[in-house]
Amino acid sequence: MGTAVAAAVRGAADLELVAALDSGDDVARLASTGAQVGIDFTVPAATEANVHALIDAGLHAVVGTTGWTDEALERVREHLARAPGLGVLIAPNFALGAVLAMEFAARAARFFESAEVIELHHPDKVDAPSGTARHTAAAIAAARADAGLGPIPDATATGLVGARGADVDGVRVHSVRLRGLVAHEEILFGNPGEQLTIRTDSFDRVSFLPGVLLAVRRVSARPGLTVGLDQLLDL
Ligand SMILES: NC(=O)C1=CN([C@@H]2O[C@H](COP(=O)(O)OP(=O)(O)OC[C@H]3O[C@@H](n4cnc5c(N)ncnc54)[C@H](OP(=O)(O)O)[C@@H]3O)[C@@H](O)[C@H]2O)C=CC1
Ligand SMILES: O=C(O)C1=N[C@H](C(=O)O)C[C@H](O)C1
């Protein structure tokens, strides 16, 4: 993603790529480059430290790296409260189709008794489930709670560990890793006698780039922490 994003910034007439950092490079040196926005696509173990270093260097930040916990997001919020005017946008997915799928899933959730999420990715991905699937499942769970729905029915009492996937706020999430895939997600909703399937497919990493560039252009106008590209779209 770093290579693809750097090329997209270089190709945008209104943006300038002033630096490209790799692991081991010092984020603090960005303070003297004239950079206004830092973009982070790294690894879950590095992203939070990178964001704090970007804020300390006086830059806005756009982050696509996954693995963010509520506690880590809160630490960024607190840091930004001491850096007035700076904005950080963290999005689990910058592809329009994925953003819409998450939105549609959150809207559909209250109408269905059952919901499960299946995410499918390339086998080089280091985290599971995907950030997008976590975000999707959490939004489904929140919508169900708001609507007063109880637990999702599941009579499973015996079997192999892992067979029912991960539990994200009571919603089961299944991760597939398959050579040839890029990034895909299916959200299944069930009621007696019917099913709704919402599916999004990123066949190529170009799908993420317009969303990243949109965030780079808008982040300085949104001081504080913004989570999700949907916050920039008129959904
Ligand atoms: N939000 C979105 O739309 C999208 C999010 N992602 C997420 O973005 C992240 C990156 O994905 P992807 O590019 O496929 O992963 P890759 O594994 O291909 O790339 C990660 C890169 O980060 C580098 N890196 C590791 N630590 C640091 C550090 N401290 N500072 C700078 N660079 C570092 C690695 O370098 P080295 O190899 O030298 O360690 C590597 O080049 C993942 O979390 C992924 O889930 C991906 C696609 C879209
Ligand atoms: O690692 C990836 O490739 C992707 N990561 C993000 C995620 O974990 O949700 C976004 C997209 O699915 C691609």
Rounded alpha-carbon distances, angstroms, from residue 207 to 86, 140, 184? 27, 24, 12
pLDDT average, residue stretch 29-35 = 93
Q: Is the pLDDT of residue 25 over 90?
A: yes
Does the beta carbon of 132 sit less than 6 angstroms from any atom of ligand 1? Answer: no
Alpha carbons 30 and 25: distance in angstroms, whole number: 10
State whether the beta carbon of 208 lies less than 6 angstroms from ligand 1: yes
How much of the chain exceeds pLDDT 70, in percent?
A: 100
Beta bridge partners of 195: 190
Point out the residues that are catalytic: 121, 125
Strand partners, 227: 90
pLDDT in tens, 171-199: 999 999 999 999 999 999 999 999 999 99
**Residue pointed to by tokens 């939004």:** 139
Averaged pLDDT, 132-152: 98
For the chain, count helices (H), then strands (E).
Answer: 6, 9
CA distance 12 to 190: 43
Report CA(219)–ligand 1 centroid distance (Å): 21
Distance, in Å, from the CA atom of 85 to the CA atom of 44, rounded to the nearest integer, reads: 26
Q: Whose CA is nearest to atom 7 of ligand 1?
A: 65
More reliable by pLDDT, 235 or 117: 117
Rounded CA-CA distance 96/87 in Å is 21
pLDDT level of residue 234 (50, 70, 90 thresholds): confident
From residue 171, alpha-carbon distances to 117, 127, 134 in Å are 8, 18, 9
**180: alpha, beta or left, given left = phi > 0 and alpha = psi -120 to 50?**
left
- ipTM associated with this complex: 0.97
- Beta strand residue intervals within the chain, DSSP E: 37-40, 60-63, 87-90, 114-121, 166-168, 171-177, 183-191, 194-202, 224-227
